[in-house]
Structure 1
Amino acid sequence: MENYIRGLESLGECQNSYGDLLVPIIMKKFPAELRRNLAREHGNARWQLQDLRAAIAREINILEVEELVEKLKLKHTGSDTISLASFGGKSEQCRYIPTGRVFLHVEQGDTIPLDVLILPTIALPLLNLQQEVKCMNYIRGLKLAHPISDADDDFDVSLLIGSDYYWQIVQNEVVRGNGPTAVKSKIGYLLSGPLPVANKNSSASYMFNVITAPPNVTDLERFWKLESMGISEDEAETSTSGILNTYKENCITYKDGRYVAKLSWKEDYPVLPTNYEVCKRRTENTIRRLSTEPDLLKKYGQITDDQLKRGFIEICDADATPTHPVHYIPNHHVKKESNTTPIRIVYDCSCKSRDQPSLNDCLLSTPPELNDLTGILLRFRMNRYAIATDIEKAFLNIGLD
């Protein structure tokens, strides 16, 4: 399936053009148990082809892990959180991986218990270059941990032992020569170092780096956002934190007990009209509508007086000659199901007249930098007690310059 999809993409065909037709055909090919697993994960929502491909990849990974566990007769001991960092990468990715325990049989009949992470594949098959050591005199007669075999050109890595167990296996004897160094261990001599090969035109290097550590909140947020590597967009490429930091440094000040923020104007924004006539007409219409509900009109006046008293708004002298551009913003009321505040006043910055721009048209537009709900919930659960509070009129307390 993947080959066919990649072939269509190479011809310029987008998944959106054929995905709706292909999804039901794929679903009919699945066994009933697999369809139930996918339905349990996805619910009744409509499948998109990209989401279905990702779900299939996760199911295959689960099946491979289960087959490996059954083959080795492993018992799950829990799960571990690891941070995966690739060579040359700029970020880490957090994953939950099941754990188990295996026993490594060593010389003298002893066993070493190893707590392991259970994965269907540790790495791609490695090229078998051990044939080259046959002609090295200093290695002859040594019992190697990986015996020399003529059968395969490559081999699979079945067990990767990290530094937490490495020194329980490695011993003190070291044999050096014109080639790889042989280090004695409890399972035989381990070869490490450069190995001369017959074909000098090709070389391959393999590196696998796993850092296991208690994840911080940022790692957990990244895990929930990215359940499988390669499915979600790289957060580092879409973040607007740089723009936000620049705005904080240059456009926000603290004056007279309140924060004052400058409007983020576009570089070449169009001339902003006064909007006086539009604002006057809409205000008159708002008062006319509220006149049919005297209680709401009274509350509207009380809110306006309160905002004036708190310094949220100020009275402008209509007869004074302005020394800078003036732009009027209309406001209207929105009803709320509240006994204390049945209405709230909303200012319409998108108001425009005919072909004239609005205030929002003249300001920079960036993605919202709000606290992620996942991170809030995780931090809420980290400790025993949590305190919730509210800043009264928080947004209105921020002045605009």
Structure 2
Amino acid sequence: MSSPSVDILLETKRDIKKQVRVNIVPHITERLPVAEFDTSVVDLVADDDSTGENVDILIGNDYYAGFMRQGKKKIQDELYLVDSDFGWLLSGNVENLEHTTRQENILTVNTYCHCHNSSCPYFTEPDLPLRNIDIKFLWSLECIGINDSPKATRQDEAVKHFNDTLQYINGRYEVTWPWIEYPPQLPVNFGVALGRLKSLINRLDPAMLQEYDDILKEQLDGNVIEIVEPHNSDILHPVHYLAHHIVKGEGKRGRIVYDASIRGSGKKSLNECLYSGPSMLEDLTALLLKFRTKRVAIVADVEKAFLQIGLQEKDRDVTRFLWSTKQNGKIQ
């Protein structure tokens, strides 16, 4: 919006004249409550209710100090009379005063923003959120550090990327990595993965190595993993090797865990190159309450749930790993 500015001369009840520059706007605010109090304690009251509750002029901080004086009288807790060129002004909390006209649960917001350029005689349109007078958004800014930013967060971007790239191919859902940037600053890491494999083989006993090999063969037969040729310069997309180890609980079969946090010198790990995404775990309290609402509860589990999701071909080469076959000891 734009609004012309004019110079006006104010003459107060104390015969003080001051010239101020004001902008002409169609509306300042709704009517303000008027409090009644004992006026005999001061010589001149600025607002004696003779002009009603309407607001005709709003004086900003650029002129406010010039009108105020030093005098101050306490009427009650949190309520004072302060002296000004207009007379004594009521300042503070008037809710506890008797005979006070009130308008409950009413909030009026009018927003005007003046040009920073002194030569500009107009108000200018403010930035968001004031431009749209979005009150809910305006209040939410007071919770910075508690509420999320109104802009799309990284978690939102990760979810959108997942929904946009998800594909169903040959009876399996396939996804792509939610890269923070592409191509990523990701090292090949072949040397680190090879060193970790040799250390792993030397550390495990024959029975554990056999179990390790059996698990990988099952995953190979189930198309969870695949054998690939050694990387070369003809591969245009990123290539990265992961270290891995086996985790085995007492009385349970082992589980292979891949280490995506290793990084090369001056490079990032695979984890650091990806959006983490939001936590989608169910609230445990809600689950327990739901569990108690019906007579019969059924619990189900998806076997090897994470292995049921495939990676699209262009992103598979960043999850390469090395293994030594038992038959010939060849690393592939």
When the two structures are superposed, what TM-score results if normalisation uses the length of structure 1?
Answer: 0.40
Q: Which has the higher contact order (CA 8 A, sep 6+)?
A: 2
Choose 1 or 2 for highest CA Rg.
2
TM-score, structure 2 length as denominator? Answer: 0.48
